[in-house]
Amino acid sequence: MINLIYMFVFSLVYLLLLALTAGILTYVERRIAGRMQSRIGPNRVGIQGILQFIADLIKGVQKEDIIPADAYAFLFKIAPYLVFMGVFLTLVPIPFGAYTLMEDLDVGIYYVLAMASYVVIGLMIGGWASNNKWSLLGGMRSAAQKISYEIPAALGVFIVVIMSGSMNFQKIVAAQGASPVDWFVFRNPFTFIAFNLFFIASLAEGNRVPFDIPEAESELVSGYNTEYSGMRFLFFFLAEWGNLVVIGALVTCMFFGGGSFWYEWKISIPAPGRDPIVFEVLGFLWFLFKTFFFVFVIIWIRWTLPRLRIDQLMDICWKYMVPIGLISSLGIVIWMYFIPENSTIDRIVRLTLTSLGAITVLYFKYRVYKNLKITKATIYANPFV
Amino acid sequence: MIIYLKNIWETYATVFEGMAITFSYLLQRPITVQYPDRMKESVPETLPEKYRGRLMVDTELCTACGLCAKACPIDVIEMKGGRAEGKKGLRLIYFNIYHGKCMYCNLCVEACPAEDGEEDEHHTAIYFKKNFEGSSYTLNGLVEQFIPPDEARRRLKESEEIAAKRAAAAAETTKNSEAKQESDKPKDGGDV
Ligand code: SF4
Ligand code: SF4
């Protein structure tokens, strides 16, 4: 009984936190989008517009909940909840800290992949039950897209699983370390490819630009959620932004060392002088920092790239990502057989890749600086206007 | 194969470039101004020299010639001039501008002959202000009466009186002249 209450309270807290984070993310995204387009973005509700999402929520709740006359009412009603639930459930095994997680599943990654495809059902049902051809097309497209992109995502995950020898998130994080050299992205070329595969495929699975074909505002009138209004419509959006957090957290866990600080992950007996709670909190914050960095990157990509055509989308998946994924999953097996961990070659490769990453970041800085020079703009880094 | 690798490389290179550009915008000040309540300077000051805002008439300068009303292709200007006490020439009786119709074509301003002798942007009697504000919830709210209705009524009456007086005077003169002519005629008899 006490376990049940404990479970209930925890899931409620998680749910509220996710909803709140998703809400704040809508605001953050709009501010970032504004600045990238030389606009300001919402800044009137509350201090700098931080309460904008609450205003939107109130507006959404006030709207009439319209169910089209010919829609299949029951399925139409539950579809948004299915989508939101699918996104929320993916959070279950993600370790925000060594102890801050809902359930330490042994099949963590597998479970996440399964839940990610479960979202498709919600989208399909929503699209079909609306009895509207745009919605149906949107739903079909999203199903086609998610199913295709599940393969590269799974191949990326597969490489990580081989590297760490476990599907448990805790063990995957523990297999990496605190410094960038130990992260899986820079471990060897194949894991780097795996990172790219997984990240791109997650974008596609989360219906984010440049893979937002199921939603395609300009062609499909917003796709599967055309007929939705009010609160149900908001649920789709909550799911979409909640999904950003999930993607960010997954990428952080699998490729960027999770929340591991300069201490070993999951120290059961803390060394003298180390307060486990302080380290837990620090690890948690470090994890959140990385997660939100990736959320920022996803938002940034959205406001940079145009949408792909459907044939380009399928090209990228089947002609590029799947073959590359297959080759690199073969490659990782060979690599692991011939080059043992911490051998000289391994270390050299790690260091090279890490420094390549650092060089990319530096070059990126240089390009940004150049662009600023071309536009002759003065730098105004203050996020508030 | 080479095309294949080149495609991959180009994808990454172009995305990289694009992201560098958008990031550089993130570091710039937005161009948008927060009109109307969070402006550092008043908007009309920032507008260019020849900006055409709402039409304005200098009722003192205007000679009520009616050229602007004739020049306007869409009858935005509705005006009438009349005689006034102690003033040579015509005076405005009413001058209404239907701002909702105006297309800011400048024809009326070009037609206006009354000038104040200065060489600035509004040296004519009818000119464009820089002010563009003045939205209204009704169509009638967009009609601007430069002579208030009461005043217009008064002026109309006055001009009518003067017109009547003059007509009377004119009649008198004609009568007189007629009488003169009459008197110049040989007096055959008959009353005047
Ligand atoms: S600007 Fe053009 S449309 Fe407007 S009142 Fe003058 S002549 Fe008419
Ligand atoms: S053209 Fe100029 S002077 Fe003539 S009526 Fe119009 S505003 Fe007055």
Ramachandran angles phi, psi of B41, nearest 5°: -120, 160
What stretches of B44-86 adopt beta strand conformation (E)?
A: 55-57, 77-83
Looking at the predicted structure, is the pLDDT value of residue A382 above 80?
Answer: no
Q: Can you give the pLDDT at residue B192?
A: 43
Give the number of whichever ligand sits closest to the CA of residue B81.
2
CB-CB neighbours of B156 under 10 Å: 15
pLDDT tier at A326, thresholds 50, 70, 90: very high
From the list A84, A159, A78, the residue with the least C-alpha distance to A115 is A84
Place of tokens 């209004």: A229
Q: Can you give the pLDDT at residue B72?
A: 92
> In this prediction, what percent of chain B has a pLDDT beyond 90?
12
C-beta separation of A326 from A156 below 8 A: no
Looking at the predicted structure, is the pLDDT value of residue B190 above 50?
Answer: no
Those residues with Cβ within 8 angstroms of residue A152's Cβ, 6 or more apart along the chain or in another chain: A197, A198, A200, A201, A317, A321, A322, A325
What's the one-letter identity of residue A148? S
Span A193-212, pLDDT tens digits: 999 999 999 888 887 878 87
Looking at the predicted structure, is the pLDDT value of residue A93 above 90?
Answer: no
3-state secondary structure of B97: strand
3-state secondary structure of A237: helix
Of B8, B22, B32, the CB nearest to A40: B32
Q: Can you give the pLDDT at residue B189?
A: 47
Place of tokens 């440049």: A210
Ligand 1 centroid to B84 CA: how many Å? 27
Ramachandran angles phi, psi of B94, nearest 5°: -140, 155
Least confident of A83-92, A118-127, A336-345, B114-123: B114-123
Looking at the predicted structure, is the pLDDT value of residue B176 above 80?
Answer: no
Angle at A243 between CA A56 and CA A48, to 5 degrees: 35
Q: Can you give the pLDDT at residue B168?
A: 86
Span B9-33, pLDDT tens digits: 998 999 999 999 888 888 888 888 8
Of B8, B24, B30, the CB nearest to A371: B24
Please tell me the distance from the alpha carbon of residue A285 to that of residue A376, in angstroms, as a whole number.
37
Instruction: Return the residue in B21, B38, B39, B40 with the most chain A beta carbons within 10 A, the one to mutate for interface testing.
Output: B21
Tokens of A156: 């990326």
Residues B92-121 have a mean pLDDT of: 86
Looking at the predicted structure, is the pLDDT value of residue A359 above 90?
Answer: yes
pLDDT tier at B184, thresholds 50, 70, 90: low
Looking at the predicted structure, is the pLDDT value of residue A253 above 50?
Answer: yes
Q: Is A61 exposed, middle or buried (0-12, 13-18, 19+ CB in 10 A)?
A: exposed
Those residues with Cβ within 8 angstroms of residue A231's Cβ, 6 or more apart along the chain or in another chain: A60, A61, A63, A65
Give the number of whichever ligand sits closest to the CA of residue B113.
2
Interface check for A33 against chain B (CB to CB < 8 A): the answer is: no
Residue B55: left (phi > 0), alpha (psi -120 to 50), or beta? Answer: beta
Ligand 1 centroid to B130 CA: how many Å? 15
From the list A56, A46, A48, A45, the residue with the least C-alpha distance to A23 is A56
Parse chain A into domains and list their residue ranges.
1-62, 68-338
Please tell me the distance from the alpha carbon of residue B71 to that of residue B77, in angstroms, as a whole number.
9
Looking at the predicted structure, is the pLDDT value of residue B167 above 60?
Answer: yes
Q: Can you give the pLDDT at residue A263?
A: 55
Tokens of A358: 């650092």
Looking at the predicted structure, is the pLDDT value of residue A97 above 80?
Answer: no
Looking at the predicted structure, is the pLDDT value of residue B57 above 60?
Answer: yes
Q: Between B185 and A138, where is the model more confident?
A: A138
Please tell me the distance from the alpha carbon of residue A176 to that of residue A164, in angstroms, as a whole number.
8
Residues B160-177 have a mean pLDDT of: 83
From the list A147, A365, A355, A320, the residue with the least C-alpha distance to B11 is A320
C-beta separation of A18 from A246 below 8 A: no
Please tell me the distance from the alpha carbon of residue A98 to that of residue A330, in angstroms, as a whole number.
32
Tokens of B56: 């304005």
Ramachandran angles phi, psi of B170, nearest 5°: -65, -45
Please tell me the distance from the alpha carbon of residue A240 to that of residue A206, in angstroms, as a whole number.
7
Q: Between A115 and A384, where is the model more confident?
A: A115
Q: Between A241 and B86, where is the model more confident?
A: A241
Q: Can you give the pLDDT at residue A265?
A: 56
Those residues with Cβ within 8 angstroms of residue A186's Cβ, 6 or more apart along the chain or in another chain: A180, A192, A350, A353, A354, A357
For residue B128, what is the enclosing H or E element?
strand B126-128
Q: Can you give the pLDDT at residue A150?
A: 87
C-beta separation of B133 from B67 below 8 A: no
Q: Can you give the pLDDT at residue A372?
A: 86
Mean residue pLDDT of chain B comes to 83
Please tell me the distance from the alpha carbon of residue B44 to that of residue B134, in angstroms, as a whole number.
13
3-state secondary structure of A202: helix
Count of H helices and E strands in chain A? 13, 0
Place of tokens 């080759």: A327
For ligand 2, atom 8, name the residue with the nearest CA: B62
Span A48-90, pLDDT tens digits: 888 888 888 888 888 888 888 888 888 888 888 888 888 888 8
C-beta separation of A164 from A171 below 8 A: yes
Residues A267-284 have a mean pLDDT of: 66
* Residues comprising chain B, all counted: 192
Give the number of whichever ligand sits closest to the CA of residue B107.
1
Partners of B72 in beta bridges: none
Instruction: Give the closest-approach CA distance of B14 to chain A in angstroms.
Output: 10
Q: Can you give the pLDDT at residue A330?
A: 92
A-chain residues near B28 (CB < 8 A): 35, 38, 372, 375, 377-380
Ligand 1 centroid to B135 CA: how many Å? 18
Residues A5-30 have a mean pLDDT of: 86
Instruction: Give the closest-approach CA distance of A205 to chain B in angstroms.
Output: 19
Residues A298-308 have a mean pLDDT of: 88
Partners of B57 in beta bridges: B126
Span B31-50, pLDDT tens digits: 888 887 777 777 777 788 88
Q: Does ligand 2 lie within 6 Å of residue B72's CB atom?
A: no
From the list B107, B97, B92, the residue with the least C-alpha distance to B55 is B97
C-beta separation of A329 from A189 below 8 A: no
Residue B111 Cα: closest atom of ligand 1: 7
DSSP conformation class of B124: B
Residues in B whose CB is inside 8 Å of some CB of A read 4, 7-8, 15-32, 34
